[in-house]
């Protein structure tokens, strides 16, 4: 089995990178072989594995620009059963160079397909926009996971995101499916956040994950120690929540 999951939301700071790290680490702990792919020139995912986005090479920059470089060709060891395809800061300018290439929307898809290595899950972290890199992730993926911050304004960005996603499904990638919408940064005991989750439930029904990710500073501190929350503080609320999410994802895709 190989599942390719894109984690996307054009809104910044909603928990995309945190979800990629912690879902990846949880699935690896369950015994799956996982690759996480950094498609964001900010390189937050890359840095959380201890690699410097200003120095790391080869990276997704080279992979996206050179069709001879496969995903397997840029992987670095991270943790047990968990490898990372790092991003370099040059990915930002690479996106413009990519604009001129004829197969610009399919580069990532081909790089994943060409890797002989056998992974169970490839999880792609995307930048906070719907540019060409995010389009590559949506073309490469079979599944889309959308983290949504549990506040009313953040929730309103989901509709335009889905309109773009379905456009890509209709025009380029008919296999793309909504794996689920994930409420993130849920403040315990907040009536406002509870109302937002209820509203999301009414819209997305069983495509809203049962798990919500709580606000927990362990999520913010763990990357500084170059760890996933489950390794940094295994009993923290955020680690527990991401383990539950991994169970849901594994059940849904079995």
Ligand X SMILES: Nc1ncnc2c1ncn2[C@@H]1O[C@H](COP(=O)(O)OP(=O)(O)OP(=O)(O)O)[C@@H](O)[C@H]1O
Helical ranges in 30-59 per DSSP H? 44-48
> What distance in Å separates the CA atoms of residue 43 and residue 212, rounded to the nearest whole number?
25
Binding stretches for ligand X (CB under 6 A):
12-18, 40, 42, 44, 128, 184-185, 213, 215-217, 219-220, 238
Binding to Mg ion (CB under 5 A): which residues in 40-99?
44
Residue with CB nearest Mg ion? 17
Taking alpha carbons only, the member of 197, 232, 165 closest to residue 21 is 232
Q: Which does 219 bind (CB under 5 to 8 A by kind): ligand X, Mg ion, none?
A: ligand X
Is 11 a residue that touches Mg ion (CB under 5 A)?
no
What's phi and psi for 176, nearest 5 deg?
A: -65, 130
Q: From start to end of 94-176, where are the E strands?
A: 121-125, 143-149
Q: What is the DSSP letter of 13?
A: T
Contact present, 232 and 223 (Cβ < 8 Å): no
Q: Which does residue 215 bind out of Mg ion, ligand X, none, counting CB within 5 to 8 angstroms by kind?
A: ligand X
100 by Cβ neighbours in 10 Å (0-12 / 13-18 / 19+) ranks as exposed
The CB-of-215 to ligand X minimum distance in angstroms stands at: 4
Q: Which residues contact 25 (CB under 8 A, 6 or more apart)?
A: 79, 82, 228, 229, 230, 231, 242
Q: How far is the CB of 130 from Mg ion (least distance, A)?
A: 14
Site for Mg ion in 18-47 (CB under 5 A): 44
150 is a site residue for Mg ion (CB under 5 A): no
DSSP β-ladder status, 76-79 and 177-184: unpaired
CB of 40 to ligand X, least distance (A): 6
Question: How near is the Cβ of 1 to ligand X at its closest, in Å?
Answer: 26
Question: Under the criterion CB under 5 A, does residue 17 sit at the interface with Mg ion?
Answer: yes
Total interface residues for Mg ion by CB under 5 A: 3
Residue 16 engages Mg ion in binding (rule: CB under 5 A): yes
Instruction: Give the nearer residue to Mg ion in terms of CB position, either 47 or 69.
Output: 47
Binding residues for Mg ion (CB under 5 A):
16-17, 44
């Amino acid at each position: 089995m190989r599942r390719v999951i894109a984690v996307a939301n054009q809104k910044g700071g909603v928990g995309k990178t945190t979800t990629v790290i912690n879902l990846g680490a949880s699935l690896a702990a369950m015994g799956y072989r996982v690759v996480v792919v950094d498609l964001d020139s900010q390189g937050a995912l890359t840095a959380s594995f201890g690699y410097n986005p200003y120095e790391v090479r080869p990276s997704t920059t080279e992979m996206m620009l050179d069709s001879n470089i496969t995903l397997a060709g840029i992987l670095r060891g991270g943790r047990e059963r968990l490898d990372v395809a790092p991003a370099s800061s040059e990915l930002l300018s690479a996106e413009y160079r990519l604009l001129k290439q004829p197969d610009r929307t399919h580069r990532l898809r081909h790089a994943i397909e060409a890797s002989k290595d056998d992974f169970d899950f490839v999880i792609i972290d995307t930048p906070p926009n719907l540019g060409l890199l995010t389009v590559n992730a949506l073309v490469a993926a079979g599944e889309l996971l959308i983290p949504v911050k549990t506040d009313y304004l953040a929730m309103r960005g989901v509709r335009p995101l889905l309109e773009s996603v379905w456009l890509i499904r209709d025009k380029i990638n008919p296999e793309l499916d909504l794996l689920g919408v994930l409420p993130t940064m849920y403040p315990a005991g907040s009536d406002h956040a509870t109302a937002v989750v209820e509203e999301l439930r009414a819209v997305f029904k069983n495509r809203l994950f049962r798990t919500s990710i709580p606000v927990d500073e362990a999520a913010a501190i763990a990357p500084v120690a170059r760890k996933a929350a489950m390794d940094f503080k295994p009993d923290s609320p955020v680690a527990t929540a991401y383990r539950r999410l991994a169970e849901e994802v594994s059940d849904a895709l079995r």
